[in-house]
Every structure is written in C-alpha cells, then in structure tokens.
Amino acid sequence: DATLPGGTDVTIGIEAAKTEEKDVLVKFNISRSIDGGTPATVFDKSLTGSEGDQYDYDFTTTLDNVSGQTNEYTFTVTNRDGLINQVSLTLTVQ
C-alpha cells in the first residue's frame, strides 16, 4: 500500500506460477475499486501455452487527481480446477 500524488504513473509487476504439475493457470484479472465502491475489471486475460505454467505482467496506471481517493487493485489468478489466488494493493491519492 502507498500514498502518492495525483497524476503519478504507477507500474505494478505481477509474477504468477502454477503450484502443481497439472494445475495450469487459465485466467488473470485485475480489478479496481474506487473509495470502496464496486470493483470494475481493468485488465483480463485468458492464459494459454507457456503462460499456464508461469505468467508475468507489468500493469501501468495513472492515479486520478482526486485528493484522498483510495484505489484498491485486486490481482486474481485462476487455475484449471477453478482455485483462485488473490493479492490486493491500495493506492491513496495525497
């Protein structure tokens, strides 16, 4: 989590890998919730081929110029069996 000035460009790197030989990754999603609102998808990708074993992605966004705004980003990876792993990050505008 971090507090940054409005208008700041932010890059967030994600690395995901399967944990079992047969349980390949099938989907990667990033959603954003503003000030505790309903999350909206900002990036969504079906994973194929070697991406099912390991997937790396650099997500870049620019913070709005709204002082005090909180932006919660949730990064979700789903495997072949439908198991989900999520990590969240909150960026607050100064």
pLDDT in tens, 48-87: 999 999 999 999 999 999 999 999 999 999 999 999 999 9
- pLDDT at residue number 51: 98
- Domain count along the chain: 1
Q: Which two tokens stand for residue 87?
A: 């990590």
Q: What is the largest CA-CA distance in the chain?
A: 46
* Range(s) of the domain holding residue 28: 2-93
Alpha-carbon gap, residue 81 to 29, rounded angstroms: 16
Using alpha carbons only, give the angle 7, 11, 17 rounded to the nearest 5 degrees.
155
- How many contiguous H segments (helices) and E segments (strands) does the chain have? 0, 7
Domain at 40, CATH number:
2.60.40.730
Sign of CA dihedral 41, 47, 51, 53: positive
Instruction: List all residues 6 or more positions away from 36 whose beta carbon is below 8 Å from its beta carbon.
Output: 70, 72
- Whether the full predicted model's pTM is greater than 0.75, yes or no, is yes
